[in-house]
Structures are given as C-alpha cells and as structure tokens.
A = this chain, B = another copy of it.
Amino acid sequence: MSTLAQGKADLERASTAQKVADMLRERVLDGELEPGLRLSEEAIGGALGVSRNTLREAFRLLTRDRILVHEHSRGVFVRRPTGDDVRDLYAARRVIECGALRLWNDVSEAQREAVRSPVRQAVARAEKNDFSKTGTANIQFHRGIVGLAGSTRLSDESDRLFAELMLAFRVAREMDAFHQTYLPWNRRIVELLNNGTVEQAVVQLDEYFAAAEQDLVGRLSAD
C-alpha cells in the first residue's frame, strides 16, 4: 500500500510552474537569492527557459508561501522580514506551538518521538563539535511540536512561518550562532516532557520564544 502511494507521488509529475517554484524556493532559502532582491520576469524566465506566463504562475505559488512579495507593477521581490514581521511571526508561533505542546499526553508515541529525536541528534553532534546541521535540527524540533496537533493545515502554515523566519535570520546574518544558542533550551524542554511535567515544558517554550524574539528583533532593528 505504501509502495503504491509512493508510485503515485512519482506519477503525479509536477507542472512546470511547480518545478520552477521549487527551484526558486531552494535558491532563496539557500541564500543565493538575497532578501530584498527583485526577480525580473525576463531575466529569470530566460535563464530557466520558461515563458513569462509560466514564471508568473511560479511567482504566485511562492507568494502564497510568503517567500516572495508581489508589488503591483513593480515586480516580485525576495521577502525581507522587518522587526514587525518577526513580532507577528513569534506571536503566531507562541500560540501554535505552546498549544500543541499541551497535547503531549494525548498523542501517539511516534508523534512524541518526532519531538525528542531531533534534539537527541543535535546533542550528539554538538558533543563532537559538529554544528553543521544545527539549524535544520532546531527546525525539526519545532516541526515535531506542531505535529503533535495532528493537523496538516497547521503544519503547513508552520512551515511557511519557519521559511519566513529563515529569511529573517539571513537578514540578521546570524543563522548558525542563533540556533546553537538555543539548543540547551530545547534539551531542557524535552527533559521536562519526559518527566511528565508538561506545563513546565510549556513555560520553558514560552520563555524560549520571548528570548528568541527579542534577540532577533534586536539584530534586525540594529540595521
């Protein structure tokens, strides 16, 4: 059954616009296309060998994911989050993730493991002084928390919030150090969860958000 579903995913080849959007998303999140950059329809369409109309469809898809912003008659730009954006972002994350974490005792073991495992791996790597994937590990931890809610819609929206946050990190030019700082926090949260003290874990998560928001907003408004 699962192999059939796999095959189906292969068969449902993405449209050209979808493929272009995926490629551009990767380029933006990798940092090749910096926040604030304008994406010319002609230049990018020519480089990728797709028509303007198809490219515009790809732009609309990425606008939906808040990777790009569209300004009428001016073009599309790589999103460049402001301090206000970050505040809004964290207000949303606080409600979503703290709410999801409170469901800890009502969910499946697999869902709980999706929260523990990223932290365990990050700790293991940190002990070997390997901080390469510390950024994605942090994201995985928080994706796991949102997953406790069991709603694909909520998880998808959170992914959009994470993507936007990645752009904010990039503007602040402190991606690695940032995530690294907050690993101890994640560790403590998992410990509290394992001890069965869910409410204390929620409090820790909330404090994490307060600290992270303040840190990031500070770096952004410093510019």
Please report A residues at the B interface, Cβ cutoff 8 Å.
Answer: 12, 15, 53, 56-57, 60-61, 64, 72, 88-89, 91-92, 94-96, 98-100, 103, 149-154, 157, 161
Contact = CB atoms under 8 A, between A and B. Distances in A.
Prevailing SS type, chain A contact patch:
helix
Contact of A92 (B72, B92, B149): B149
A95 B150 CA distance: 10
Contacts of A15: 72
How many copies the complex holds: the figure is 2
B149 A153 contact: no
A50 to B, nearest CB: 14
Given A56-B57, A60-B60, A153-B157, 18 more contacts: A53-B53, A57-B57, A60-B61, A60-B64, A88-B150, A88-B151, A88-B152, A89-B151, A91-B149, A91-B150, A91-B154, A94-B149, A95-B95, A95-B149, A95-B154, A96-B96, A96-B154, A157-B157
A56 B56 CA distance: 10
Contacts of A72: 12, 15
Contacts of A150: 88, 91
